[in-house]
């Protein structure tokens, strides 16, 4: 298990370099991230969220039953569950459909939820946990989760994608969280 860093921690704003080879250290990081994601009942976790700026994310949408996901491999619909947990290194995303509005949360923003617009369907190219190139299309919650996580890898947070009105409404909560993070980080250092 690794500690999940919260909003206000500088690493969340760092763009991660691509993963070159899957070393034992990367394998360990992947295993730790999956365990940490499950422990926090998250749908996804980016390396930045455990304090490492890297193009690496883990995702598992199986815990969510009320928001459907779809996946297509080489033009054929496949069973989403079979691909979970999904590990993506160096993901690249191409939108295939117009944006839709949907609710999002983030383990680095406890108890903050808001609507965010994102393309409903995307194509993803990446390397898997073995360093093998993969390509697939996906929709629904899975597409949303991958876009949220891929943003993290580039130092982009879901608050950056919210409408100005929503972000203004959240401003007091965000300011409070940032202050709390400052105090927590001080404690961790001591």
Give me the active site residues, please.
Answer: 149
Write down the least CB distance from residue 110 to Zn ion, Å.
11
Q: 106 or 114, CB closer to Zn ion?
A: 106
In the complex, which residue's CB is closest to Zn ion?
106
Rounded Cα–Cα distance for residues 93 and 102 (Å): 18
The dihedral over CA atoms of 127, 4, 44, 161, expressed in degrees to the nearest 10, equals -100
- Our CB check for Zn ion shows the closer of 30 and 46 to be 46
Three-state helix/strand/coil letters over 69-92: EEEEECCEEECHHHHCCEEEEEEE
22 or 52: whose CB is closer to Zn ion?
A: 52
In angstroms, what is the minimal distance from the CB of 179 to Zn ion? 20
We find the least distance from the C-beta atom of residue 18 to Zn ion, in angstroms, to be: 20
Taking the alpha carbons of 164, 5, 64, 59 in that order, is the dihedral positive or negative? positive
What is residue 4's DSSP assignment? P
Q: How far is the CB of 44 from Zn ion (least distance, A)?
A: 7
Strands (E), the chain: 44-46, 56-59, 69-73, 76-78, 86-95, 99-104, 114-119, 121-127, 133-139
CB closer to Zn ion out of 106 and 138? 106
CB of 23 to Zn ion, least distance (A): 25
Which positions touch Zn ion (CB under 5 A)?
Answer: 106
Q: Distance (Å, rounded) from C-alpha 158 to C-alpha 87?
A: 20
Q: Which of 144, 45, 40, 116 is nearest to 87 (CA)?
A: 45
Residue closer to Zn ion (CB basis): 67 or 72? 67
């Amino acid at each position: 298990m690794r500690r999940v860093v919260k909003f206000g921690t500088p690493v969340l704003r760092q763009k991660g370099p691509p993963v070159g080879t899957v070393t034992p250290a990367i394998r360990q990081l992947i295993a730790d991230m999956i365990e940490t994601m499950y422990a926090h009942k998250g749908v996804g976790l980016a390396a930045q969220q455990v304090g490492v700026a890297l193009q690496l994310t883990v995702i598992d949408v199986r815990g969510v039953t009320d928001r459907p996901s779809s996946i297509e491999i080489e033009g054929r619909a496949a069973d989403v569950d079979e691909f979970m947990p999904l590990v993506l290194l160096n993901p690249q995303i191409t939108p295939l459909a117009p944006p839709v509005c949907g609710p999002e949360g983030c383990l680095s923003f406890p108890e903050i939820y808001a609507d965010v617009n994102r393309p409903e369907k995307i194509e993803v190219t990446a390397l898997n946990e073995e360093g093998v190139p993969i390509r697939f299309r996906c929709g629904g919650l899975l597409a949303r989760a991958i876009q949220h996580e891929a943003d993290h890898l580039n130092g982009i947070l879901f608050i950056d994608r919210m409408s100005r009105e929503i972000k203004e409404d959240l401003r007091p909560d965000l300011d409070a969280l940032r202050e709390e993070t400052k105090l927590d980080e001080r404690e961790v250092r001591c």
